[in-house]
Chain A
Amino acid sequence: MKHIIAVLLENEPGALSRVVGLFSARGYNIESLTVAPTEDPSLSRMTIQTAGSEDVIEQITKHLNRLIEVVKVVDLTEGAYTERELMMVKVRAVGKEREEMKRMADIFRGRIIDVTDKSYTIELTGDQAKNDAFLHAVERGAIMETVRTGASGIGRGERVLRV
């Protein structure tokens, strides 16, 4: 089952590689990982999307907690949460395709952020399923390039992750 794990850790060189090393050394899977400093520049926040049985997820959170630089770990999927991913897609847009692509971007609430006479670059945010749906909806041959950030997650309501 899919899990989204949020980690607060000291914003120190090497901290990211410790987390990644932990996953590779113990044979856990990372589907996506996003990381950036928080409002407190001494802290980074990481969102790790992974999949595994309950036992595996329990071990992952325990091992993350063992890392000296890790301050807090929360499995967001244990409660209500929101996730977003930024995706940018460069698509071919020539002739009547241009109108079609514009319409498609509108339907998915995407924005065209770069234009040439042969292409559009469309920015989309949403959960990964929505971004996947866009890629399926667009004719495969029209997609020139795709880049995705992976999920960032945050708890719903009053639920916060902070020191």
Chain B
Amino acid sequence: MEISKAEISSAAAASAASTPSSPQPDSASIELMGSEVLMKALQAEGVEFVWGYPGGAVLYIYDALYKQDAIQHVLVRHEQAAVHAADGYARATGNVGVALVTSGPGLTNAVTGIATAYMDSIPMVIVSGQVPTAAIGQDAFQECDTVGITRPIVKHNFLVKDPRDIAMTMKKAFHIARTGRPGPVVVDIPKDVSFRKTPYAGYPQTVEMRSYNPVKRGHGGQIRKALQLLLNAKRPYIYTGGGVLLGNASDELRTLVDLLGYPVTNTLMGLGAYPASDPKFLGMLGMHGTWEANNAMQHCDVLLAVGARFDDRVIGNVKHFAQNERKIIHIDIDPSSISKRVKVDVPIVGDVKDVLTELITMIKESSAQPDGGALKAWWDTIGEWRSRKSMAYSLGAGDVIKPQYVVETLWNMTKDADTYITSDVGQHQMWAAQYYRFDKPRRWINSGGLGTMGVGIPYAMGVKMAKPESEVFCITGEGSVQMCIQELSTCLQYDTPIKICALNNRYLGMVRQWQEIEYSSRYSHSYMDALPNFVKLAEAYGHVGLLIEHPRDVEPALREARRLKDRTVFMDFRTDPTENVFPMVQAGKGITEMLLGSEDL
């Protein structure tokens, strides 16, 4: 990062001109630098960690960070990882994640992380530096139009032009990020705004925005209509997504399912919202969901969708989905998610937790009961679908490691511990989703919406910092892991012991799988040659590397990694390069037009 002499001398002159301030209590008379107001804001919002990377435009902010102890700053190795780590922290805790980047390239490096958080509705505040206000629009060094670049991938963004506005802007940013449908908010602060002094009268207690009033309570009449439909259903189904986790409504979901006895499924984003080990859980649905989960989706007569948005990866071809008529009840905090892809009969806009609570109260007060006979017949049908055991896989001759086996073994070893699993994107992500049985909310951390390769290690870092007592495993592939592998360095610096399980099949597996199935096995550029020696690479970063080449070594390796509590361990599992993810719904097909295994090809 370059800092010109002129900048330093002008800053020094301005500093000399202002009265030196000694520490004072908050009062209307005190004056603070913009960067100091920013620190006050972060502290008032209860921020524990800021992941970031310094640069010219944020040096006053870094100076203010240096002079305080309340917030820990984590120096990552690439801004993309700063945003992912803050995102992982937010997913695991429900708190707002915070990242700090400099202007220009700092911000553009962060864009992938911001878009990732936006697609999955993760509450975050990203503070970016900007060139001094006088230089904005002059194509200054390290200048870019941050507000313009991030506009389509944020819930909202701000450019702060006056230090007087920092406190209220930060208050608004956190408020917007965590309320309604959560999302990332970018606050762009020019260098002079972070430097100039401003009267500071304390951090605002409340925020009022006439243009932003997210709904909380669902419409009572609509909830009553939903109840009626649910109780009259012959083939009911409860389809839940990431909104249940974001709304902290897992307990309410559990109570509802217990009361009704209806089958339930989670989307990829919703895994853990309902305990996977419960018999009423049909497994994940969608492109790589179970046969029973997808068939129930297609053949139910009343569908209760909760915090899920009928993504194409979930319902496949919309026309096929619409062939079977079913009444749909959709609970979502974001009205624009309702009736976006499928027509909904009973829309309920509101906070998932509030709406489910009200629904549960109504059920308890109602004299009507679900139709037991019809429900029994429905469960019998589901039982037949289940008997196809669509998640079964072959261990082969037992001389090559099956990726599913690694995940299942990890599940068996850690199911009684409080374990967090992050993943990257690809085949390994689907195997992790299919074979690790998530019983608790917020334990499954992955990029569902944007599908960002490279999130795994930064996510694991963010989660481990939030939950230092818990074990954090990152299930990844040799392709994904190389997209942010430099963060192994951050893990060492901050003593963040994560366990990386690389399912290394020497291919960009999901790409290879699609090429095999849809492009007549023309494996165009999906073979990754010249892989690094991951064991040596881990060691070069000061960690432990393990190479696992035989199925019998899988369990001992995982045990060894767990034993090394205080070390980051990189496990390079050499897995079957030909293995594919099944079941599978091909792009453009209906959700029950499934390939259950390679024999269906």
Contact = CB atoms under 8 A, between A and B. Distances in A.
Interface of A: 9-10, 13-14, 17-18, 21, 25, 55, 58-59, 62-63, 65-66, 68-71, 163
A71 B210 CA distance: 7
B156 A68 contact: yes
Contacts of B159: 13-14
Given A17-B151, A65-B335, A68-B155, A59 B210 contact: no
A66 B336 contact: yes
A71 B147 CA distance: 21
Given A71-B211, A163-B210, A18 B336 contact: no
B148 A17 contact: yes
Nearest to A72: B211
Of A59, A66, A70, chain B has the most CB atoms within 10 Å of the CB of A66
16 contacts: A9-B211, A10-B211, A14-B147, A14-B151, A14-B159, A21-B152, A58-B339, A63-B336, A65-B335, A65-B336, A66-B334, A66-B335, A68-B155, A68-B156, A70-B211, A163-B210
A68 B148 contact: no
A55 B338 CA distance: 11
B152 A25 contact: yes
A66 B152 CA distance: 13
Given A68-B209, A70-B211, A71-B210, A59 B340 contact: yes
Secondary structure class of chain A's binding surface, majority of residues: helix
Contacts of A14: 147, 151, 159
A68 B212 contact: yes
B209 A62 contact: no
Contacts of B340: 59
Given A66-B336, A69-B211, 8 more contacts: A10-B211, A13-B159, A14-B147, A21-B151, A62-B335, A65-B336, A66-B334, A68-B212
A69 B157 CA distance: 11
A68 B151 contact: no
Contacts of A163: 210
B318 to A, nearest CB: 12
B31 to A, nearest CB: 27
A10 B209 CA distance: 10
Contacts of A25: 152
B271 interface: no
B176 interface: yes
A-B residue pairs, 6 tightest by C-beta: A62-B336, A68-B156, A71-B211, A62-B335, A25-B152, A68-B212
B351 to A, nearest CB: 16
A125 B406 CA distance: 73
Nearest to B147: A14
Nearest to A9: B211
